[in-house]
Chain A
Amino acid sequence: MPLAASMRMCGGGIARLLLVLICVDTAVTAAAPPPAAPGPGAGPEPITPIPAPPAQDPLRLALGEQLFRDTRLSGDNIRSCADCHDLASNGASANAHDVTPKGRPLALNTPTVFNATLSFKLNWEGNVGDFEDQTERILANPEIMASNLDAVLTKLRSDPQMVKQFRDAYGREPDRAALLDAIATYERSLLTPGSRFDLWLNGDASAITQEEIAGYRLFKGLGCISCHQGVNVGGNMYQRHGIFHPLAAPLPELLRVPSLRNVAATPPYFHDGSATTLREAVKAMGFAQLDRVLTAPQITAIVAFLNTLTGVYRGAPVKPAAGPHGVAQ
């Protein structure tokens, strides 16, 4: 049996590794402010249409809505957010002052929750920056929900169905962040687009009448627009009230300018709910803030314009809440 061993000459090869560095120049783009709304043939307007509601997780949205109506959020398990913010009508109540758990009237009128997300601050005083903070404060406020986050969470965690909903929406049991986020998510969805004025802003010249357009021009000409402008027709600045003459209750002196969206459907008016009709409110504002005694035709024209600001929620126009002042003006 022969054994042969042989050796092969091998040529060497050069392997080249080419490293290519690809530099991607990412342009820094900053969000430009939204353009002013072009009115039909009238150029840009200081009021812009309400945008479409932001895309939200439907499970979180549904959970937020349920929590908004859940009486377990109050200390006495009697009241829910929806008790003072009636979403079937105007997102508020018809009362000049809603009441505390002990039956005393609250210091300020309840503002509507509709379109609150479009305001730069929340509450009449504009002392809260976002819904999460506001919810936490309201839960702990003895004048409103008279509870606190921990107490609410304890109640919710004892409900298997609620725990399941939190798990489905957030992947965990009810906790502080999820609770606040669910309610805030829901409140951010409470927009009322589709008002006739917005249709007009979007180019539908027939959406509002000539009288209403005249009222809008007067609204601008008199200077009301100085404070009531932007997407929420207000809600983007602070202002003193009673500039020339007293308007309503003197305190608080500085208010976040209220939005005029759905104003025809949200009586009573002012922070103390002292104006029961829109005509009354317009007249008082003209005198207190503009030092003008508005004539009846001027008030009629401005009210006609303000009526065009009523939007639509879930397919139905926003309407006044039932109650002592819940009558359309």
Chain B
Amino acid sequence: VRLSSLAVGVMLGIVLLTWLLLRGIGNDGKRYEQALQAFNELAFAEASLHRDVLQARAGLLLNYDAFSASEAAMKNAVTQLRSLAQTEGLNSGPVDRLASSVVKQVELTEQFKSSNALLQNSLSYVGLLSTDPTFGDQDVQLMRAADALAAAILHLTRDTSPEAIQALEGRIEQFAPQAPTVGPDAEATQALLAHARLLSQVLPAVDRTLEALVFMPNRQSFDETRALFSSRRAAVEATAWRFRLLLYLASLLLLVALVRLGLRLRARALDPERFDKYYREVHGPMTSKLPGLKGYKYGPGRALDGGPGEFFWYWSGIFDSRQAALDAMASPEGLAGAADVPNYYHEDPIFIFFEM
């Protein structure tokens, strides 16, 4: 009964400590890590997108394939954040606003790509014509007017203010009457005029789109969503801390109990006088009542040299047979003696039979 009670107690203790440990670890750590990863990917993709947009505007980006990768990464990150927010039962408002800002960024990016392609296309034409040695070689006035128009376009590529737009439109108005409709330069000149008109509209539009994209006020939704997960994490962490504290307290209590038990056992084990007194006054007389006992004696054990030996106490009894000894141990008197052992010592005695 004592052993089974002890086993149940130990099991309950293990269950309690394990439960405290698991609650102390917190079970949302992985999800929070995934959320942080999604935030990192979103921020990285946005930064990549903004870098690529600026490069594309400057004509330094070789192709738009990277845009698609950034857009996909941003959408995936938001999808993951939405899923994690749902799993955690969080308010969906901030994630929805973040998703809306990503959708808006993707729309602006697509607008930018389309407009910027036209922009680069027209700039290519202006560059091609400006470096064509055959263009205007027979009409100096036309060449000068074309150069002035190209200069206004160049200015607009660096400054899309209303003044720069107005300056280009003025150049276009000046150039249009001079542009020949027949002759060797007619086709190229009319094309230059068409591209200049397109650029006067596309260049400011591209920069407006670029500005709207790069300076989009999406920081708030990003921060709100991040704060949502941080708050959740903080709450979970606070709960986990409480359980960790409980685990610590339980461990301290266990330690105190173990120390007390150890001290008691040690006190019993290392107190020969108490042992001697108890045995002689209580346990020894109990053994004398064992049925079938023909004679007995007990006392401290010593080594041959008189020092402490392997055993520090002995009890020796004489029975008619081995079975008689076993019967005595199984008798009510024998069981009472066995039950008394823990009252003076923490281990079971060692039994030895031998024939005489």
Chain A residues with a Cβ under 8 A of chain B: 1-10, 12, 28, 30-31, 33-34, 36, 44-48, 120, 221-223, 226-227, 229-231, 236-240, 243-244, 254, 289-293
Residues of B within 8 A of A291 (CB): 125, 190-191, 194-195
Which residue on A lies nearest to B116, using beta carbons? A226
Contact of A226 (CB < 8 Å), options: B118, B198, B269, B352:
B118
> Beyond the given A3-B319, A120-B68, A243-B198, could you list 10 further A-B residue pairs with CB under 8 A, ordered by the A residue number?
A1-B325, A3-B317, A4-B351, A6-B314, A6-B350, A12-B266, A30-B40, A44-B62, A223-B124, A237-B114
- Could you list some 7 contacts between A and B, CB below 8 A? A5-B315, A6-B310, A28-B37, A30-B45, A30-B48, A223-B121, A236-B63
Q: What 0/1 pattern do residues 253 to 275 of B give for CB contact below 8 A with A? A: 00000000010001001000000
Distance, CA A223 to CA B124, complexed state (A): 6
CB distance from A68 to the nearest CB of B (A): 25
User: In the complex, are the beta carbons of B62 and A1 less than 8 A apart?
Assistant: no
Question: Would you call the interface of chain A mostly helix, strand, loop, or mixed?
Answer: loop
Q: What 0/1 pattern do residues 306 to 348 of B give for CB contact below 8 A with A? A: 0010111111111111101100000000000000000001010
User: In the complex, are the beta carbons of A227 and B310 less than 8 A apart?
Assistant: no
Query: Would you list the 4 A-B pairs with minimal beta carbon distance, nearest first?
Result: A6-B311, A223-B121, A33-B66, A5-B349
Interface residues on B, range: 35 or more
Distance, CA A30 to CA B42, complexed state (A): 10
Distance, CA A8 to CA B301, complexed state (A): 10
Residues of A within 8 A of B324 (CB): 1
Distance, CA A239 to CA B325, complexed state (A): 106
Which residue on A lies nearest to B124, using beta carbons? A223
Q: What 0/1 pattern do residues 172 to 211 of B give for CB contact below 8 A with A? A: 0000000000000001001100110010000000000000
CB distance from B242 to the nearest CB of A (A): 21
Residues of B within 8 A of A231 (CB): 63, 65
Contact of B351 (CB < 8 Å), options: A5, A9, A290, A293:
A5
Q: What 0/1 pattern do residues 78 to 119 of B give for CB contact below 8 A with A? A: 000000000000000000000000000000001001100110
Contact of B40 (CB < 8 Å), options: A28, A48, A221:
A28
